[in-house]
Amino acid sequence: MFIVRTTEYSLPNLLHSHVDLIQPTTSFGRWKAMRSAFLDWKPDSDIDHKVSLASGTPELYRNPVSGVTVDPSCNETVTIKCLQQLYNAVGYVPKISEKENRIGVTGFLEQYANIEDLNAFYADQVPQAVGSSFEFISVNGEWEPKLTTRSWFLIFGSGGQNSQNLSESGIEAAIDTQLAYGLSYPIPGVYWSTRGTPPFIPDAKYPENGNEVRETMPRAGVHD
Amino acid sequence: MFTTTLGAILSLASFLPLFIVSGSAIGTSEWNFTVKESIHPPPGWVKYSSASPDHVLSFRIALPQPQFHVLEQHLMEISDPDHERYGEYLSKDQVDDLVRPYDESLDLVTEWLEKWGIYEEDVSRSAAKDWVTVVVPVRLAELMLNTVRDALLITRAPFY
């Protein structure tokens, strides 16, 4: 894998205070999906009863100013209910109709958001959302013709795919969609996804793909 | 500092107008290069070869956002459940106003790009004009950023 970078770049003197940075020049970071620390806690036989926010527990944390109360189990386990308590959003009712309102999550690098997985999460944490789904939008997707040895046929081209194979459910996609849609239910969810490989235009010297990964999404936004 | 050869400059002629310093009200010394950023390559990355002059890169130029501290103050207040402004979110236009760069920054960066034959129709800008995106080949980027001495590297990632 190759990328084009430099260890040093210069600008005219008078531009130094008028430009914060120019990239990609010296940034060697490789974008990749990060896993949430959410996944790292060890199985604990106490977790189950900590997750269920039994009402009437005498140990509720109460903020004296806002009056917000947070279940003590939230110190160890973050659930949708914990987040709603922490943000004083328990029982929040969206002010805008479901026809106009959306919450969007972006997906990259073949992170497939799985509807069955989402509903398993809802069954555990947001029972009223069970049976709901989200709208999938493929970013820069288009049908394009391909010629095989036998015939022409159409394949779905450069846009993001929407695998609903449970075995391909992405960890990051699951965390993002479950928390975002679960927290904001009943606001309808949208999942935008780019295809896993970055756009790449090969030239004579660089036939291999070493290109920038996240260009598709901001460009799609620009053209909206 | 600026030590490219005439041949290299002339090779731009088919692609872009020549770089012409004269005619600017600003003194030439202010257009002299000084290093903006210098790093050591991260472990595992090695220089492979010089980059192909034809390789095209999409650069994003970040202009300073002088009112960013005001935006930050807004964010701290409207996201604090104990604050009286909690939930009073800003509109996109309000946010754009708060990240807008100085006119002087916009003018100077635009003038700099025009010196290299990059005009308004060649760039894309964010709504607040705090980001400018230009798509240029390596042969031009090396001149604009004076990376000729330490030419743009091809590097190899450690784990592939």
Report the side by side order of strands in the sheet with B131-137: A21-23, B56-62, B131-137, B123-125
pLDDT at B83: 92
pLDDT at B135: 93
- A178 closest CA partner among A138, A92, A128, A119: A119
CB count, 10 Å around CB of A172? 17
More confident residue, A205 or A133: A133
Does a structural domain hold residue A9? Answer: no
Of A7, A14, A206, the CB nearest to B150: A7
Report in angstroms the alpha-carbon separations of B39 from A5, A28, B58, B140, B159: 11, 10, 21, 22, 21
Share of chain A above pLDDT 90, in %: 14
* Interchain pair B39, A26: CB under 8 A: yes
pLDDT at A137: 79
Does a structural domain hold residue A15? Answer: no
Asked if the C-beta of B92 comes within 8 angstroms of chain A's C-beta atoms, the answer is no
Does a structural domain hold residue A2? Answer: no
Instruction: Tell me: do A60 and A46 sit in the same domain.
Output: yes
Q: Indicate whether this model's pTM tops 0.95.
A: no
For residue B22, pLDDT over 60 is answered with no
Does a structural domain hold residue A208? Answer: yes
Instruction: Tell me: do A165 and A150 sit in the same domain.
Output: yes
Contact present, A103 and A190 (Cβ < 8 Å): yes
d(CA B28, CA B17): 19
Asked if the C-beta of A93 comes within 8 angstroms of chain B's C-beta atoms, the answer is no
Query: pLDDT tens, B79-93?
Result: 888 899 998 999 999
pLDDT at A34: 59
Does a structural domain hold residue A10? Answer: no
Query: pLDDT tens, A75-122?
Result: 778 889 888 888 888 888 888 877 788 888 888 777 788 888 899 999
Instruction: Tell me: do A65 and A122 sit in the same domain.
Output: no
Instruction: Tell me: do A80 and A124 sit in the same domain.
Output: no
Residue listed under structure tokens 């969007």: A104
Interface of A with B in 95-124 (CB under 8 A): none
pLDDT at B16: 38
Report the domain count for chain A.
2
Instruction: Tell me: do A137 and A205 sit in the same domain.
Output: yes
Looking at beta carbons, which residues of chain B come within 8 Å of A20? 62-64
Instruction: Tell me: do A70 and A141 sit in the same domain.
Output: no
Of B36, B52, B102, the CB nearest to A11: B36
Query: Strands A189-193 and A134-138: what pairing?
Result: parallel
This model of the complex carries an ipTM of 0.77
d(CA B38, CA A29): 16
* Interchain pair B36, A19: CB under 8 A: yes
Does a structural domain hold residue A112? Answer: yes
pLDDT at A202: 60
Instruction: Tell me: do A130 and A218 sit in the same domain.
Output: yes
Instruction: Tell me: do A48 and A115 sit in the same domain.
Output: no
Interface of B with A in 26-85 (CB under 8 A): 26, 29-42, 45, 48, 51-52, 54-64, 81-82
d(CA B78, CA B99): 17
Contact present, B125 and B133 (Cβ < 8 Å): yes
What's the 3-state SS for chain A? CEEEECCEEEEEHHHCCCCCEEECCCCCCCCCCCCCHHHHCCCCCCHHHHHCCCCCCCCCEECCCCCCEECHHHHCCCCHHHHHHHCCCCCCCCCCCCCCCCEEEEECCCCECCHHHHHHHHHHHCHHHCCCCEEEEECCCCEEEEECCCCEEEEECCECCCCCCHHHECHHHHHHHHHHHHHHCCCCEEEEEECCCCCCCCCCCCCCCCCCCCCHHHHHHHHC
Looking at beta carbons, which residues of chain A come within 8 Å of B154? 2-4
* Interchain pair B62, A22: CB under 8 A: yes
Query: Per the structure block, which two tokens stand in for A121?
Result: 């999460």
Instruction: Tell me: do A145 and A192 sit in the same domain.
Output: yes
Does a structural domain hold residue A197? Answer: yes
Instruction: Tell me: do A88 and A98 sit in the same domain.
Output: no
For residue A19, pLDDT over 70 is answered with yes
First to last CA, chain B: 36
Looking at beta carbons, which residues of chain A come within 8 Å of B45? 28
Contact present, A160 and A170 (Cβ < 8 Å): no
Single residue among A23, A58, A92 that ends a domain in this structure: A92
* Interchain pair A10, B146: CB under 8 A: yes
d(CA B110, CA B134): 11
Instruction: Tell me: do A71 and A150 sit in the same domain.
Output: no
Single residue among A74, A92, A110 that ends a domain in this structure: A92
Instruction: Tell me: do A88 and A104 sit in the same domain.
Output: no
Does a structural domain hold residue A19? Answer: no
CB count, 10 Å around CB of A85? 19
Residue listed under structure tokens 């709504």: B127
Query: pLDDT tens, A105-118?
Result: 888 777 788 888 89
Query: Per the structure block, which two tokens stand in for A68?
Result: 């917000």
Interface of B with A in 101-160 (CB under 8 A): 101-102, 104-105, 108-109, 112, 124, 138, 145-147, 150-157, 160
Looking at beta carbons, which residues of chain A come within 8 Å of B58? 212, 215
Single residue among A92, A122, A140 that ends a domain in this structure: A92
| pLDDT bucket at A12, cuts 50 / 70 / 90 | very high
Burial class (CB in 10 A: 0-12, 13-18, 19+), A41: exposed
The whole domain housing A110 covers 94-224
Query: Read out DSSP for B19-55?
Result: P--TT-SS-GGGGSEEEEEE-PPPTT--EEEEPPTT-
Span A24-30, mean pLDDT? 81
* Interchain pair A15, B109: CB under 8 A: yes
Which chain B residue is nearest to residue A202, measuring alpha carbons? B55
Per-domain residue ranges of chain B: 6-64+101-155, 66-99
* Interchain pair B153, A8: CB under 8 A: no
Query: pLDDT tens, A169-201?
Result: 777 788 889 999 999 988 999 888 876 554 555
* Interchain pair A13, B38: CB under 8 A: no
Residues facing residue A180 across a β-bridge? none
* Interchain pair A9, B35: CB under 8 A: yes
Residue pairs spanning A and B at CB distance below 8 A = 147
Residue listed under structure tokens 């692609």: B15
- A75 closest CA partner among A122, A118, A41, A34: A41
Query: pLDDT tens, B83-120?
Result: 999 989 999 999 999 999 999 999 999 999 999 999 99
d(CA A10, CA B145): 5
